Chain A
Amino acid sequence: KAGVTQTPRYLIKTRGQQVTLSCSPISGHRSVSWYQQTPGQGLQFLFEYFSETQRNKGNFPGRFSGRQFSNSRSEMNVSTLELGDSALYLCASSLALGETQYFGPGTRLLVL
């Protein structure tokens, strides 16, 4: 079974731009979660989707948004990028809410 895939793997943007990251979960997994990882703040929960509905959200500003499609694929969007948004963005999928999460390789975003 193919693992979680994330595209793109690397991205360079400038302040003020917006970015869309994509995540394809493991086949059959209906829950997708997103995390931001930085050296200073560590791994922080962004949001979780299940059956196209956002079930939980972390403490991030409204510039961070996401959605899930009927095939469980998910996208997250960050608008009006700031330097502090530079991070590794990780997506994880699971069969159900609260269960073992399987992580993708991440998208490394650099904001200049």
Chain B
Amino acid sequence: SQQGEEDPQALSIQEGENATMNCSYKTSINNLQWYRQNSGRGLVHLILIRSNEREKHSGRLRVTLDTSKKSSSLLITASRAADTASYFCATETGKLIFGQGTTLQVKP
């Protein structure tokens, strides 16, 4: 069963716009991780945020975590066509459980 649920399932934006993806989960976590996957290839790790952290940045990526609401968000600023991919949140509870993912399309 999936621990994380992501919203929206699909997102289409223009280059230069910001993209926000949300993830909700059900149980207590050790950390929450975001991954990107291009066209059925292997996953690429983006950010890990621990349960005692509220916000983390990496380049154009910003992740927030609200453990009281059991939710996280991933913001990609100034998106590029190369950001087109599926994005997954994964909660670490002794094992890594992935959400269903958000498919992001960035149009040039």
Q: Which B residues lie within 8 Å of A35 (CB)?
A: 98
Total A residues in contact with B, Cβ cutoff 8 Å: 26
Question: Do residues A98 and B92 form an inter-chain contact, with CB atoms below 8 A?
Answer: yes
State whether B101 touches A42 (Cβ < 8 A).
Answer: yes
Residue A106 contacts which of B41, B45, B94 (CB distance < 8 angstroms)?
A: B41
A70 interface residue, CB < 8 Å from B? no
A9 to B100, CA, bound (A): 23
Closest chain-B Cβ to A108's Cβ sits at a distance in Å of: 8
- Contacting residues, chain A, for B100 (C-beta < 8 A): 42
Q: Which chain A residues lie closer than 8 Å to B44 at the CB level?
A: 103
A100 — which chain B residues lie within 8 A by C-beta?
Answer: 33, 45, 48
- By the criterion of a CB under 8 Å from any partner CB, how many residues of chain B are at the interface? 24
* A29–B99 alpha-carbon span in the complex (Å): 25
Interface string of A26-58 (1 = CB under 8 A from B): 000000010101000011110010000000101
Specify which chain A residues have a CB less than 8 angstroms from the CB of B97 in the assembled complex. Answer: 45
From B2, B90, B96, B97, name the one whose CB has the most chain A CB atoms within 10 angstroms: B96
Main secondary structure of the interface of A (DSSP, over half): strand
Q: Indicate if A64 sits at the interface (CB-CB under 8 A).
A: no
Instruction: Give chain B nearest CB distance to A23 CB in angstroms.
Output: 11
Instruction: Contact check, A98 vs B42: say whether CB atoms are below 8 A apart.
Output: no
Most B CB within 10 A of own CB, among A33, A101, A102: A101
Query: Are B41's CB and A102's CB within 8 A?
Result: no
Q: Is A104's beta carbon under 8 Å from chain B? A: yes
Q: Which of A75-112 contact B (CB under 8 A)?
A: 88, 90, 92, 97-106, 108
- Assembled-state Cα–Cα distance A32/B79 (Å): 33
B101 x A90 contact (CB < 8 A): no
Interface contacts beyond A42-B2, A106-B42: sample of 4 additional A-B pairs, CB < 8 Å, sorted by A: A42-B99, A43-B88, A59-B1, A101-B45
User: Which residues of B are interface residues toward A (Cβ below 8 A)?
Assistant: 1-2, 30-31, 33, 35, 40-45, 48, 88, 90, 92, 94-101
